[in-house]
Amino acid sequence: MNAVRKIDLRQRLLDRRQRLQSAMGEFKETTQLMRLLKEVDSALERMNGDSYGLCQVCDGAIEEERLLADPLVHNCLECLTPDQQRALEQDLDLASRIQSQLLPNKNLSFNGWEAYYHYEPAGPVSGDYCDLVSPEAERGDLFFLLGDVSGHGVAASMLMSHLHATFHSLLATGLSARQLVERANRIFCESTISADYATLVCGRAGDSGEVDICNAGHCPPLLIRGDEITSLEATGLPVGIFQSGEYSAQKVQLARGDSLLLYTDGLSEAQDETNIEYGAERLAKLVKGRHELPPQALTEACLEDLRTFVSGAPKTDDLSIMVIRRVK
C-alpha cells in the first residue's frame, strides 16, 4: 500500500476513534461501542507495526479497495467465513443494482441527436461513468459524459456515483463543457483522497449540430465524418489531480450522418491471449468502414470486433462505449 493511502487510512481510523469516544459519553449502552473502539485501536496498533493490511488468517495482503471501504476489515476475500461471504455477495448485488439505476436511457433521441451506449462492468460494479442528460423541454443542449475512475471494484464504483451526483447538480447551472469539468475537478479534489482521479470526456451538443467537447485525460473520442476519422485528443489532465487544473474545450461541427464515438480503455487496452492490445488504431479502422451505421449498430460492430480480437481471453477492465449521431 502506498504511503498516501496509509496516511489517509490512519486519519480515518483516528476520526472514528474520536467519534466513538464522544458517542460513549452520550449513550448508556456502550458494550458495542467499546468493542468497536478496541477494533480501531487494534488496527492503529497494526499500522504502527507493519502488519496492517495483512489477512489475519492467511497473512496475505487484503484487497486495497476493501480497506478503503472499511479500514477495519482483517480478512482477505478468500478467508471470509461463509456468513461474511453471503453478506458480501448481497452487498455487491445491491451496489450493482444501485449503479445500474444511475445509467441513462439506452436509446436516446433528442433535438436532432441520437445516442446509444454499452456499459459492461468487469465485476459486479464498474468504475466507468456513463451519462446522457437532456433537458425536460423539447429544445436545449444534450450533455454526454464518459469517464473512467482510477482503480476497480467497489471503491471505484463509489467514486463513479460521486461523479454522477456532482455532474447532475452542476448540469442545471447552464455551464459550458469546459466550466463543468473545471468545477467538477475542484469538487472531486476537495472531496476525495489524493490518490484518486478520473479521466473523462464531457460534451455539450447544441441544436444546430455544434458540439463543445472537453477531454480531461481520457481516451480520445473519434469524430466520424463519412470515412474521415479524427481523434479528439485530451486538452487537460484527469480530474482529481490538481485543484487549480485548467481545461479547454474543442468545438466541432457535426452534419447529418456524422457521429462521435467515445470509449473507455476497457476497449482500447483489451488484450488477446498473447497480451497484444486491441488499440485505438484498430478501432479507427473499424469505424472508418462502418461510418454509415446508426449508434446502436456501430456500438455492436465495435463489440463484435472486440470479441473476435480477444477470442476468449479473460475480461480484466470495465468497458464502456457511447455513440452520438447527428440525424438532422
Nearer to Zn ion, 1 or 58 (CB): 58
Question: At a CB cut-off of 8 Å and minimum separation 6, what does 198 contact?
Answer: 129, 147, 148, 149, 150, 159, 163, 188, 216, 238, 239, 240
Nearest Cα neighbor of 252 from 293, 206, 291 is 206
How far is residue 93's CA from residue 77's CA, in Å, rounded to a whole number? 16
When asked if residue 34 is in the footprint of Zn ion (CB under 5 A), the reply is no
Nearer to Zn ion, 25 or 82 (CB): 82
How far is residue 212's CA from residue 319's CA, in Å, rounded to a whole number? 24
Nearer to Zn ion, 53 or 203 (CB): 53
Which of 67, 76, 142, 262 lies at the binding interface for Zn ion (CB under 5 A)?
Answer: 76
Report the nearest approach of Zn ion to the CB of residue 55 (Å): 3
When asked if residue 79 is in the footprint of Zn ion (CB under 5 A), the reply is yes
Nearer to Zn ion, 55 or 108 (CB): 55
How far is residue 206's CA from residue 111's CA, in Å, rounded to a whole number? 8
Nearest Cα neighbor of 328 from 252, 269, 256 is 256
Nearer to Zn ion, 65 or 269 (CB): 65
When asked if residue 68 is in the footprint of Zn ion (CB under 5 A), the reply is no
Residue type, 251: K
Nearer to Zn ion, 89 or 227 (CB): 89
* Cell numbers linked to 269: 487496452
Nearest Cα neighbor of 262 from 164, 148, 180 is 148
Handedness of CA 203, 126, 282, 289 (dihedral sign): negative
When asked if residue 57 is in the footprint of Zn ion (CB under 5 A), the reply is yes
Which of 58, 94, 98, 276 lies at the binding interface for Zn ion (CB under 5 A)?
Answer: 58
When asked if residue 73 is in the footprint of Zn ion (CB under 5 A), the reply is no
Report the nearest approach of Zn ion to the CB of residue 319 (Å): 30
When asked if residue 36 is in the footprint of Zn ion (CB under 5 A), the reply is no
* Listed ranges 27-35, 52-60, 148-156, 158-166: which one lies at the site for Zn ion (CB under 5 A): 52-60
Q: How far is CA 307 from the centre of its chain?
A: 22
- Build a one-symbol-per-residue string for 90-129: x at contacts with Zn ion by CB under 5 A, - elsewhere: ----------------------------------------
When asked if residue 154 is in the footprint of Zn ion (CB under 5 A), the reply is no
Q: Are 207 and 141 in contact (CB under 8 A)?
A: yes
When asked if residue 67 is in the footprint of Zn ion (CB under 5 A), the reply is no
- # residues near Zn ion by CB under 5 A: 6
Q: Which residues in this chain contact Zn ion in the complex, by CB under 5 A?
A: 55, 57-58, 60, 76, 79
